[in-house]
Amino acid sequence: MAAIPQPRERLTGDSAGMDAHERPYLKAEAGKPAARMKIWIVHAFTDRVFTGNPAAVVPLERWLPDSVLQTIAAENKLSETAFVVSTGLKGNYQLRWFTPATEVPLCGHATLAAGAVLLSEVEPGLEVVVFDTHAGALVVRTTEEGYTLDLPRRQRAPWAAPDELAAALGVDEFADAFVGEYACVVLEDEAALRGLKPDYAALDQIVRGPRQGCLVVTAPADEGKPYDFVLRFFAPGVGLNEDPVTGSAFADVAPYWCDRFDMESVVGFQASKRGGYARAIQTLASVRLAGQVAVYLRGELDPAIGRLNNRSAEELEAPRRKKRRAKRDLPAIFEEQPLGPDAALRPPTAHPTPPELNGPPSPRIVLTDPD
């Protein structure tokens, strides 16, 4: 059985494992409100930074207007920004996901990142956190290997992929195709999947559902690899040509490979430029993904962002300027000169006319001594 590399600790970073009172980025300054807009950038489904899929996690005291949430996500320029708000119950949060272009109904790697931040940094005494989302209740747990994320298991249905889709991906044919959370196609081998050079504009037009412009491509792993299958996820429909590591895509194709290999759990690798692993265990109603995370950044957003309300959609305000003075006539010296090849230049009227150069010389005055 292939195995995911083991992490050194549940949440990497210099401050991992510290008590809450030792983390300065969680403390409120004297005389200021306790709730400040913190932000974490977490690389999910990996045990080291600069790999996996980056997601921003922003815990909020209360929901901001959607336009502000979308503007923050667009400014982050990450595949997903996860916003969480406590429901008031211990370990229970509302969760929403935004790409730089739009809000999405489900995102696995940002859910894993949000759960890791809450369990290891915000409420380190908890072992389980439950998120209320548009996709239903999602559960993140701490384990010895890292974290687990339970995602809904979608019913798989056969799909006759159009020939135009094969042409858009640059392949001759598909070994299989089905529809779950996303449209999914299966290739014969790993080399074919890694060599794909898709036409993203064509994918956005051809893949009409279940999620517009979103496609999972998967294949069995080559012999001797430490994983069982590979996949890539293309999502031009939500502004992402290719997502680095996609939890919801793992949850979509893992049951297919469990059934095909007759295994209870499988390990997958997403063959993007950054790459990332996940172990998947299928149950009757869900797919449990086991993965790790690494913290890249801990920071704080300016408090003024929370007061933007709906102004983000308005035009920028120009700085105030002094009132223009009343128009007045300019002196003759500033009169405009005539233009054109035949126009003769006139001397300024405020100065005497200079003597003509070719005229008679000026008289000379000679002083003589009368003695």
List active site positions: 80
Q: What is the separation of C-alpha 275 from the centre of its chain, rounded to a whole number of angstroms?
A: 16
Q: Which two tokens stand for residue 131?
A: 């998120």
User: CA of 134: how far to CAs of 79, 95, 97, 107, in Å?
Assistant: 18, 8, 10, 10
Residue 168, Cβ density class (10 Å: 0-12 exposed, 13-18 middle, ≥19 buried): buried
Residue 341, Cβ density class (10 Å: 0-12 exposed, 13-18 middle, ≥19 buried): exposed
> Residue 183 in contact with residue 215, Cβ under 8 Å?
yes
| H-state helical runs in 216-361 | 247-261
Residue 162's closest CA among 152, 177, 149, 147?
Answer: 177
> Residue 109 in contact with residue 290, Cβ under 8 Å?
no
> Residue 289 in contact with residue 112, Cβ under 8 Å?
yes
User: What count of other Cβ atoms lies within 10 Å of the Cβ of residue 327?
Assistant: 6
